[in-house]
Amino acid sequence: MNKDKVHDKETHGTSNDISHKTSVDKVKAPNLFERAKEEVEALVGAVHDKMEHNSSPHGNNADLHKDSKDESKVSMNKIETHKNETHGTSDDINENTPDERVKGPNVFERAKEEIEAIVEAFHPKKGSDKPNQPLSLRPLLNSLSLPKQRRRRGEMAAAAAAAGMDARGWDEAAYRRGILRERDLSCRTLFRAVFFDHHDDDPDVLLAAASSDGSLASFSLSSCISSSSSHPTPQTHPDAAVSLVDPVCIVQAHSGPAYDVRFYPDSQQPLLFSGGDDGRLRGWRWHEMQSCLVPLSLQGDHLEPVLDLVNPQHEGPWGARSPIPENNAIVINKQEGSVYAAAGDACAYCWDVESGKCKMTFKGHTDYLHSIAVREANRQIAEVESALSCVAIDASESWLACGTSSGISVWSLLSNECIFNVDCHAPVQDLLFDRNQILAVGAEPLLSRFSINGTLLSQIKCAPHSAFSVSIHSSGMAAVAGYGGLVDVISQFGSHLCTFGCRSLDK
């Protein structure tokens, strides 16, 4: 050759006409743009070859055999130059291999290998288990295992739903009803709870309660005891939650609060009378309430009263009528077949049970009547105004006890004289005679027992913080009801048989 060849292309060390004697000016090195162009072409060619190879996994065996022959021929004529990274898996590299025969990967070749590994992760070769994956790609390939992550997220969602933390089934209406129900139960008041104390074949003790929401409910004492036995009592655990007991029967007796409830004894058909803020006096068949077969969720309007009596309205100037006065207390006179009601218009009304008509009206007070008691032998009634909270007459009809805002006063009905006054720490809201003793409850969580001479005999802590009713059974049990919709049943020995809360109607 007349002129030496100038090498203006990069040969990557594969040219045979360059030796150590070739001058530097005869060899042209690639500039930056040519170098970048070559690397990009190499990357595109590598990805393209990979995709073609995956689309046709079974190649031509003749071509492969031809390539293997050519490679073996080259290896016989020339020592192989290692241009690609083998990650230490090549068998023809040992301690005797010179350094110039082994080429390390540059930055672009390393990037090319990483891209090839990513492409193979999305489009793996058939029958390949990728035994020689680079260690640097394993965290990346693990992050691409999407089905496993989806399963894990599903397991976490199931665990959250089981723990009650899943917000996907959130019911806003049910949450509101629950909050309103809790508030209603916490501020509800039982103004009266009485025992059905008439001897029959049923050994179970039944209880009726009048509530501030206008409902009238009957309860089985055995069910109340079994339900509250698993809960700590508020006397021993003040912060403990009282168990709510399902009533045997519950009816919406009045449109306003039900202030009083009394039993009308009858061997054939006993009645339960209730009086409330709507001015109505209603009688209910007790047998229907003590053996109700209607599901509790459907109760409320399933029973109709036998008697529905309404207090009369007073007529004013130009024909105007006064509001219907409320019934604050009622009392039964079985001897006459009458029911007496202490009303809010300062009058007491006597109603005939048979005919349902008002037989008599008692006037003379200037303020609303708060309580009433009857003296059957002398055909007399005792009424108290708002200054006195309650009144009771003993079985001999010789003694009368009145509850005041400061204590108790006891009167002799034979001499019409006050025998003694007892000063209490809180207003007395209900009382009754138990043989020769007086049971009293009031605006404190105590059931107090006094002798007929005014001596304090005992005080028992009860569940309601403010008690409005005390009732006695012939066996000696006492039921105290009041604020919070609570009923505390106390035995004759002073122990607490059960403490329960009354459920209300879902309105």
Q: What is the mean pLDDT of residues 42-50?
A: 66
In the chain, the percentage of residues whose pLDDT exceeds 70 is 68
Angle at 416 between CA 413 and CA 418, to 5 degrees: 100
The per-residue pLDDT for range 464-487, each reduced to its tens digit, is: 999 999 999 988 999 999 998 899
Q: Residues of the chain with pLDDT > 90: what percent?
A: 31
CA 493/CA 269 separation, integer angstroms: 33
Q: Which amino acid is at 185?
A: L
pTM above 0.75, yes or no: no
- Give, for 502, the enclosing helix (H) or strand (E): strand 496-502
Q: Which residues contact 506 (CB under 8 A, 6 or more apart)?
A: 177, 181, 297
Q: Is the pLDDT of residue 336 over 80?
A: yes
* pLDDT tens profile 135-191: 454 554 455 455 556 666 667 767 766 666 667 777 888 888 778 777 777 788 999
Question: What is the pLDDT, as a whole number, of residue 460?
Answer: 94
User: Nearest CA to 309 among 266, 366, 264?
Assistant: 264
Least confident of 118-122, 139-143, 306-310, 396-400: 139-143
Given a cut of 50, whether residue 261 has pLDDT beyond it is: yes
User: Kind and range of the H or E element at 390?
Assistant: strand 390-393
Q: What is the pLDDT of residue 74?
A: 42
Cβ(411)–Cβ(420) below 8 Å: no
Cα–Cα distance, 429 to 432 (Å, whole number)? 11
pLDDT of 216 over the 60 cut? yes
Exposure class string for 36-54: b at 16+ Cβ within 10 A, else e: eeebeeebeebeeebeeee
45 with 108, same domain: the answer is: yes
User: What does the alpha-carbon distance between residue 142 and residue 158 come to, in Å, rounded to a whole number?
Assistant: 24
Higher per-residue confidence, 177 vs 500: 500
Contact present, 329 and 372 (Cβ < 8 Å): yes
* pLDDT above 70: residue 131: no
Are residues 362 and 224 both part of a single domain?
Answer: yes
Are 361 and 227 contained in the same domain? yes
pLDDT computed for residue 204 by the predictor: 77
**pLDDT (0 to 100) of residue 73:** 45
> What pLDDT is attached to residue 62?
46
**More confident position, 68 or 443:** 443
Q: Are 193 and 340 contained in the same domain?
A: yes
Q: Is 434 part of any domain?
A: yes
Query: Is 211 within 8 Å of 251 (Cβ atoms)?
Result: no
282 and 375 fall within a common domain: yes
Cα(36)–Cα(435) distance, rounded to whole angstroms?
113
Residue 66, pLDDT score: 46
Question: Strands across the sheet with 215-220, in order?
Answer: 190-195, 206-211, 215-220, 249-252
| pLDDT of 454 strictly over 60 | yes
Domain-embedded: residue 6: no
User: Which of these ranges, 164-173, 306-315, 340-349, has the smallest mean pLDDT?
Assistant: 164-173
Q: Are 188 and 484 in contact (CB under 8 A)?
A: yes
Confidence of residue 54 (pLDDT cuts 50, 70, 90): low
Cα–Cα distance, 269 to 247 (Å, whole number): 21
Kindly state the tokens that stand for 172. 């806003």
Which CATH number characterizes residue 332's domain? Answer: 2.130.10.10
Overall domain count for the chain? 2
Who has greater pLDDT, 459 or 376?
A: 459
pLDDT tens profile 377-430: 888 888 787 778 899 999 988 999 999 888 999 999 988 898 889 888 899 999
User: 331 pLDDT exceeds 90?
Assistant: yes
Domain boundary among 91, 121, 136: 136
Between 155 and 275, the more confident residue is: 275
The pLDDT of residue 489 = 93
What is the length of the chain?
507
- 11 in a structural domain: no
387 vs 276, which has greater pLDDT?
276
The values of phi and psi at residue 297, to 5°, are -70, -20
pLDDT of residue 99: 66
Last residue of a domain, one of 136, 164, 179: 136
Are 201 and 331 in the same domain? Answer: yes
Considering the domain boundaries, does residue 251 fall inside one?
yes
Mean pLDDT for 266-281 is: 91
pLDDT at 35 over 90: no
Structure tokens at 251: 């009816």
The answer on 294 and 374 residing in a single domain is yes
Distance CA 211, CA 218 (A): 11
For the stretch 76-98, pLDDT in tens is 444 555 555 555 556 666 767 77
pLDDT mean over 294-305: 82
pLDDT given at position 205: 83
Give pLDDT, residue 400: 93
Per-residue pLDDT at 53 exceeds 80: no
The answer to whether residue 111 is domain-embedded is: yes
Quote the tokens at residue 263. 């039993």
- Provide CB contacts within 8 A for 302, sequence distance 6+: 251, 292, 294
Tokens of 21: 């004697």
Task: Indicate if 196 and 341 belong to the same structural domain.
Answer: yes
Measure the CA angle with vertex 119, ends 115 and 124; round to 5°: 140
How many other CB atoms are found less than 10 A from the CB of residue 206? Answer: 21
Tokens 């009957």 map to which residue? 218
151 domain residue, yes or no: no
Helices H / strands E in the chain, number of each: 8, 27
Q: How far apart are CA 309 and CA 286, in angstroms?
A: 18
Integer distance in angstroms from the first to the last C-alpha of the chain? 111
CB atoms within 10 A of CB 324: 17
Range of the domain at 268: 189-502
One-letter identity of residue 216:
L
Contact 325/343 with Cβ under 8 angstroms?
yes
Question: What one-letter code names the amino acid at 181?
Answer: R
Q: What is the pLDDT of residue 42?
A: 74
As a whole number, mean pLDDT of residues 296-303 equals: 80
Token pair of 286, please? 């007790």
Does 112 lie in the same domain as 239?
A: no
- Output the pLDDT for position 111: 77
pLDDT, average across residues 33-53: 67
- Cβ burial of 69 (10 Å; 0-12, 13-18, 19+) is exposed
Q: With the C-alpha atoms ordered 223, 228, 234, 239, is the resulting torsion angle positive or negative? A: negative
pLDDT given at position 30:
62
User: Does residue 241 sit within a domain?
Assistant: yes
Q: What band does 295 get if pLDDT is binned at 50, 70 and 90?
A: confident
- Are residues 193 and 130 part of one domain? no
The token pair that represents 505 in the structure block: 């109607």
Give 196's contacts (C-beta < 8 A, 6+ positions apart). 205, 206, 207, 208, 263, 270, 286, 290
Q: Let me know whether 401 and 262 are in one domain.
A: yes
* Domain co-membership, 125 together with 255: no
Give pLDDT, residue 279: 92
The number of beta carbons lying within 10 Å of the beta carbon of residue 189 is 19
How many CB atoms sit inside 10 A of residue 220's CB? 19
Q: For residue 14, what are its two tokens? A: 């594969």
| 174 is a domain residue | no
Check residues 493 and 9 and name the one with the higher pLDDT. 493
Strands 478-482 and 486-490: antiparallel
Residue where a domain terminates, one of 109, 136, 163: 136
